[in-house]
Each structure stands twice: as C-alpha cells, then as structure tokens.
Amino acid sequence: MCGISGFFGGNPGHGEAARKAVLQGMGDAISHRGPDDSGVWCDAEREIGLSHRRLSILDLSPAGHQPMHSPSGRYVIVFNGEIYNHTDLRDALVAGGLATRWRGHSDTETLLAGFDAWGIRQTTERALGMFAFAVWDRQAKELSLARDRVGEKPLYYGWQGVGENAAFIFGSELKALQAHPSFENRVSRAAISLQMRHNYIPAPYSIYEGVSKLPAGCVLVVSLARREPIVQQYWSGLRQAEDGVQTRFTGTDNDAVDALHLLLKDAVRRQMTSDVPLGAFLSGGIDSSTVVALMQAQSQRKVKTFSIGFHEADHNEAEHAKAVATHLGTDHTELYVSAAQAMAVIPELPALYDEPFSDSSQIPTFLVSRLAREHVTVALSGDGGDELFCGYNRYLLSARLWRTMSRAPLGLRKAAANALTSVPTGSWNRVAHALGRCLPSAMRFANLGDKVHKGATVLASRSNDALYLGLISHWDDPASLVIHGEEPPTLLAGNALETHGLNDIERMMAMDLLTYLPDDILVKVDRAAMGNSLETRVPLLDHRVIEFAWRLPQSLKLRDGETKWALRQVLYRYVPRTLVERPKMGFGVPVGRWLRTGLRDWAEALLDESRLRREGFFRPESIRIKWSEHLSGKREWGYHLWDVLMFQSWLESQAVSASTAAPFGYPETATVRAHAI
C-alpha cells in the first residue's frame, strides 16, 4: 500500500533538480500513505515525472523500491495496492518462457514483467487485487493510469495550468496535486451540490474543477501528442450483474453455499499474504464475522481483531464483536471511546479526506484504524457484503414501498406523507422500542423515526428509481441550497443507469456497487486507514466473489425477509446464529445528539448566517431553519447539517473563499476561485 503521484508536461521549474523537487513535494504531501520509503524519477526530455511513497508490505528489501523499471527498460511504474495472484502470474510468465531472473518477490516487479510480456491492458485484466498505478511507456511515449475493478484504491488526475505551464498531474490524493505549481485550486459548485445530496462526491467528479477521479475498472492513456485522455473500461460491475442474472447458478442451495464458502476461503487466504503483522476489523456483524472466521480457520495463530465501542448503547456494537471474537478464539482488542474522544477526531477530517466528505461513520472508522495500527500494518475488512448479498434494509423497504404505493393515486400518497411526518421522529422511535421483539427481525429498524420521515418524503415518487434516489438523498434539492450549484449528471440522476434483466432490488444493488460502494464506503476506509499508515484489504470484493454473487438467485440473498441468506449460511458453519442475529445497526456515531451538546458551539460558528453569506457558497435560510429545528428537537436534521458542516470545515482548512460578494451576500455572477492565504 502506497501513495503515487506525478506530472506529465508543464514546466515545473528549470532543470532536473527542480523537477525532482516538485516530485518530492508531491510525494511528501501524501507521506502518510507510505512512511517507509520514497523515490522519484523523471525524464526531462519527455516532460514526465513519477513519485512514490512506500508502505512496505511485500518484499521489505530494496528490491521493492519504486519507481521501478521493467526488465526490458520500456516501462517505469509507480504502484499502489496489492496483487493477490502475483505468484500465479509469475508461474505463468516462467512457464511461457516470458520471465527473466527475478530481483525480488514484490508484486510490482511481477506487474512490470507482465507488461513486457502481455502489455498493460492484458496484464491488468489478469491481475487479481486492489490497485492504482501510473506507468510510463518509453517506446510509445504514453502515460497510462489504471484503477482496480471496484475502486478500492483512489486516483485523481487532470490538466491544470495554462500555456507552457499546462501539466497533466495525478495522485492518490488531492493534496499531492495541490503540491504541483500548476494546480489551479478552482472549487466546483456542482461538486458541492453532489456532496449535499449524497454526503460524498461521486466519480468522475472532484471538489476542484478540471480534476477528475478515474472511475473504477478503467485504464486511462494520455500523451503530449494526444492531450485529451482516453478512458477505457476493462471490467464492468454492471456487465457482471447483467451476465450473472442471465447465467444463474443452477445447483441446490447447499451447492451454492458450498461454492461460496470455498471461494471466500480462497479470497481470504490470498489476502492474508503479508510480510508484516496482519489483523482484521470486527464489528460482530455478518460480513466482518465471516471474514474473521475464515481467517482464523486458516491461521495457526490467533488472528488479531479490533473493535471500537461507544458508551451510547444505540451506537455500540463492541459487545457483539467481543462475543464473536471469544467464540472464534481471536486475539481481540477493543477500545471504548467517549464522545469527547470521538469528537476530537473532527479537526483531522478535512486533511484526511482532502475534499468534503460527510459520512459520519468516518469517525469510528478512523478510530478503529488508529487502534489497529498500534498492533498491525494490514487489516482485513468486511465491506462489500451489503451490496453483493442484499444487506441494506432500504432494498427491501424500497421494493415493498413501491409495490404498495404505486397502486395509490399521487394525491393520496402526498396526504399519507404529510400524516407520517406530522408525528415527531422521537415518537416513532418510542413506538419501535415499545414493540421490541414483537416484530419479526426484518421489521426491526434502528432509528425508526428517521426512516419513517425519510420514507414519507418519497411517497410522491413517480418511479422506483426516483423513490430510491429520494431514500439515499440527504438534501433533496441541493441546487436551491448551493449558489450556482446545478447538479451534473450521475448514474443516479440525469444520466440514469441502463440495465437489462435486473429486477428492482437487483437494480438498486447494482447502482450501489457502482456508486455508493466506491465513492463512499471505500473512500471512507481508504482515507481513514491510510491516514494511520494502515493497509486495508476487502476479501468480499475479490472480483471472483462479485461475479459469483451476481449468479446467485435472489432467493439465496433475500429469503423470508432475511438478508444475506447464503453468506449467513457460510458464517453459521463457524459461529452460532444467536451471536450475530440482531437488527442492523451500522457503524455510525450519534452526530445529531452531539450537535445539540458537545459540538453545538463548533457548529454554530460554522453555520453562522453572516459567515455563510460572506463566503457565498450557500443560501443560508434553509440551513438556519434546520439548525433551529434540530436544536429544539422538533426534527432530526443531523445528516443534513453534517453535510454542510463538513464542507464548512473543509473550506476553513483550505483557506478558500468566494470572490467579492454581490449585494445581499449572494455572488450570483461571481466565479469562485480558491486561493491560499
């Protein structure tokens, strides 16, 4: 696991020493991603430079140093990630007479030998792993960037600067791009609108104009002769979904569970390969418990597992994790943190995430990563199970809701929505608590009041897609909140995903696989872990597991209201059902409660009306109304306010300001340009 960056073209100083200084600065900006080693390489004649920061995981010797050259000398690479089948690739190269003598045992060296033998595209398609890399082809005089199939590893890029200073710059994080002298720092209001809706900025957009995220499963090629990057997809999650439902698994239920079990065991085994200490996150839920169970079953030592606990019972999963760890016999470490300790992380978030990001589970994710890093350098995670095995309550809720509501006239649905929202969220929560275990497990929801109010807002939806967008949206109309904040098209809105053969639930799962998973979940985990110089691996996102999961009939994922049915059956071979059966909680923190208590002064300063008007990004009226209602307890607006607060906190950390404001504080015609003060 590492950090990569570099540039192509431009004029970053004069002479090789100046160019290397720029590269060193870009690498230093992301040194947390690779504290063990650093290296730069440049070709002044071709105006290309590569920078690498290394977190040593495989081959700790100097033979793993980057930038690294291929055996033929044609390719130069900087690589971030892990190739889990690299020994298989080596065997294939040797068997075909295509490999020279190996210098070491790093997967980077294997990739380069593959490039020489098979080319960049074919080698990337053969690779099983998580990665982002940049490789310079000396013969073709082209720069290629690539990202893994699901988007576990990040990669930003874009042309910045004008005239002779125009440069194509790239990096694992935005702070690496900011270290290049041509970086323009222009804030995208469209991206702010996307963050207000989703709590993240979906690919290919970023918070800066002219800077994009390389989509998952893609290779980009650029050259000075052809400055417009060509982006091609080498693997498609949507195609796997569509192909999977057309080639369903036809064996028995037991056959399916057996096949899934073997595939998961192999994925976990491969991802346990490491030359440094390794462990796992454990929440006690289905996904992380399955990963840990398969790790312990294949380890001669006690697997090191880590959990974060909270004293607030409705946000604490540590006791469940401890019970699973005790049953499996892991070497378990848990840390209970106070609200004050968790809130102390907040000032670190803007630097950690580089752009506004407001999934509040970023806080416990950072805390558990910091805890794990005290003991290990690599941690396996259970992310991905919800998207692949129908784990989110909203899938079932949306499908049931649409089947019912689509039969009713639109006017009647609007009246029902008004009736539902007339009951305060707290009252709904008290009803849910009183009913308790009288309800079947599929109907037990944490924070029922918020879900009811959220569901009520989408009763007027005209399609299942519109209903789903409403359920996953925070601010329903960001353009009315963000000045000049027209939303660009995404796969969820404006550029709707075209699917073939998928039912409503499968379509929602596919959309999450392509959007929410790479742009929220994996961003959260990557930045939180790498901010602590910790590598994370996600066995459930082995692309073979993804492809197999899509072949499973829906009845093996959702059965009698129970989600993740097949995955649960694998887990029950190791852990009693009673240890993991409970309502889905999620890995969050009580942001709404904190905003009324310990974070109130901090939030008030960032949401000050005169400040909002002066900065000129938001129309403050609706923000102030929600803030007032939230403080009074009339409504729960924690998520909406957290979106704004994370942008405001990021803005403050970047010393970004709008151009001179127009009358009444609204720069309706102003161009926003970020600048360092």
Residues catalogued as catalytic:
2
The token pair at 603 is 């939030």
For residue 494, what are its two tokens? 């404006």
Q: What is the 3-state secondary structure (H, E, C) of 272-295?
A: CCCCCCEEEECCCCHHHHHHHHHH
Q: How do beta strands 2-9 and 48-54 pair?
A: antiparallel
- Yes or no: say if 607 and 641 are a contact pair by the CB < 8 Å rule: yes
Question: Please, what is the end-to-end C-alpha distance for the chain in angstroms?
Answer: 33
Please answer whether residues 537 and 379 qualify as being in contact, where contact means their C-beta atoms are separated by less than 8 angstroms: yes
Q: Which two tokens stand for residue 355?
A: 């752009």
150: DSSP letter: S
Return the structure tokens found at 505.
């639930």
Tell me whether residue 329 is exposed, middle or buried, using C-beta atoms within 10 angstroms of its C-beta: 0 to 12, 13 to 18, 19 or more. exposed
Instruction: Please state, as a whole number, how many other Cβ atoms lie within 10 Å of the Cβ of residue 100.
Output: 12
What backbone phi and psi angles, to 5 degrees, belong to 672? -85, 130
* CA dist., res. 456 & res. 434, Å (int): 22
Residue type at position 376: V
Residue 521 to residues 152, 383, 516: CA-CA distances in angstroms? 9, 8, 7
Strands of 533-654 (E only): list them: 535-537
Please report, as a single letter, which amino acid is at residue 251: G
Burial of 160 (0-12, 13-18, 19+ CB in 10 A): buried
User: Residue 604 and residue 324: Cα distance in Å, rounded?
Assistant: 41
CA–CA gap between residue 210 and residue 159 (Å, rounded): 7
Is the Cβ–Cβ distance between 52 and 73 less than 8 Å?
A: no
- The Cα 634–Cα 629 span in angstroms is 5
Sign of CA dihedral 637, 639, 641, 642: positive
How many other CB atoms are found less than 10 A from the CB of residue 396? 18
Angle at 674 between CA 132 and CA 532, to 5 degrees: 40
Helix or strand run (H / E) with residue 461: none
The residue count of the chain comes to: 677
Q: Which residues pair with 5 in a beta bridge?
A: 51, 171
Residue 443, Cβ density class (10 Å: 0-12 exposed, 13-18 middle, ≥19 buried): middle
Residues 6+ apart with CB under 8 A from 101: none
Check: CB of residue 189 under 8 Å from CB of residue 39. no
Pairing of strands 68-69, 75-83: antiparallel
Order across the sheet with 304-310: list the strands. 331-337, 304-310, 278-281, 378-380, 535-537
